[in-house]
Structure 1
Amino acid sequence: MFNLLLVILTFSSPILIGIFISKYFKYKSELNDQLQQLRKEIDGKNTVELQKEVELLRDRTEVLERIVTDSKFDLDQKVSKLA
């Protein structure tokens, strides 16, 4: 009886190990896919936020350039509009 158990374990162990290894790599692959999707979502959101911030900074730079270059510019009025 013990010999039969050893024979069964001998032939089934490599099969079970192969199944466990394939399940593990499938799990790792799915996990990496999910991680890549999350990174893409994060990068997409950051890009939109950065574009908005760049546009805001461009507008502010244009106002400051007008203040510096225009000699007839009413400085007090523009500064109060910025605040």
Structure 2
Amino acid sequence: MFTVFLIFLAVCAPMLIGIWISRYLKYKAHVNRELQVLQQQIQDNSLPELRQEVSALKKRVVTLEAIVTSHGYELNEKISNL
């Protein structure tokens, strides 16, 4: 009886391992395709948003530079230091 089990195991084990490996490779390929699609969507969607954010930040920097370099700011700073 044990001999029949060993023969059955010797025949079925390679087939089962082959099935598992082929399913794993199909799963891995599917996941990689989905990952590439998601990465492309992220790159496509984030570029305009990043440009808008950079533009807004540039405007804020210009405003802050104008405040810091104004004569009134220097006067307030001198008064604060006294």
Tell me what 1:18 maps to: 14
- Aligned-partner Cα distance in 2 for 1:6–1:65: 81
Whose relative contact order is higher, 1 or 2, with alpha carbons under 8 Å and at least 6 apart?
Answer: 1
Q: Which residue, out of 31, 34, 40, partners 1:38?
A: 34
RMSD: 2.7
Say whether residues 1:61 and 2:57 are aligned partners: yes
| Structure 1 residues not aligned, in runs of 5+ | 72-83
- Aligned-partner Cα distance in 2 for 1:63–1:9: 78
Q: Which amino acid aligns with 2:46?
A: L
Q: Which amino acid aligns with 2:38?
A: I
Scaled by the length of structure 1, the TM-score of the pair is: 0.60
- Aligned sequence identity (%): 4
Scaled by the length of structure 2, the TM-score of the pair is: 0.61
Q: Which amino acid aligns with 2:54?
A: R
| Structure 2 residues not aligned, in runs of 5+ | 71-82
Instruction: Return the offset for 1:52.
Output: 1.3
- Aligned-partner Cα distance in 1 for 2:55–2:21: 51
